[in-house]
Amino acid sequence: MSRRALKERPITIPQTKKILETVGEEKLDQFQRRTLDYASKFSKIDPHASEELVNNLVTRFGLEEEDAVQIVNCMPGSVEEIRAFLAGGRKIVETSKIEAILSFLNEHRKKE
């Protein structure tokens, strides 16, 4: 039986971690175990919160889903870092909008 993807969409590192944990580590191949290890080390927020953040960045701030996923994966801490994620876009993003995104991320950042 061949496996086919029904739909492809970007997911965050925390969502990847949750999916791989659901499968169970004993059923994972070597690549999947390495991916789970990476996801465990680099997840910055919980999976549910990451999905909400992506949705909010897309709906409230008009970001592309791929950009929103990358921003949530890295949780940048400055305007300059966020600007680096958005630099590849075709339109210029206003500093006030980037500051609002940063403020929004700061509200949801893990307390370390």
Provide the pLDDT for residue 8.
Answer: 87
Question: Is the per-residue pLDDT at 54 higher than 50?
Answer: yes
Identify whether residues 55 and 104 lie together within a single domain.
yes
* Region at 24 (left for phi over 0; alpha for psi -120 to 50; beta for the rest): left
Kindly state whether residues 72 and 85 are assigned to the same domain. Answer: yes
Residue 112 pLDDT: 43
Number of folded domains in the chain? 2
pTM for the whole structure: 0.85
CATH number, domain at 99?
A: 1.10.150
Q: Is the dihedral of CA 28, 10, 72, 107 positive or negative?
A: negative
Which domain covers residue 97, as residue numbers? 47-108
Are 104 and 51 within one domain?
Answer: yes
Mean pLDDT over 7-21 rounds to 93
26 & 55 share domain: no
Q: 2 in a domain, yes or no?
A: no
Terminal C-alpha separation, the chain: 46
HSE (side-chain half, CA atoms, 13 Å) at 50: 23
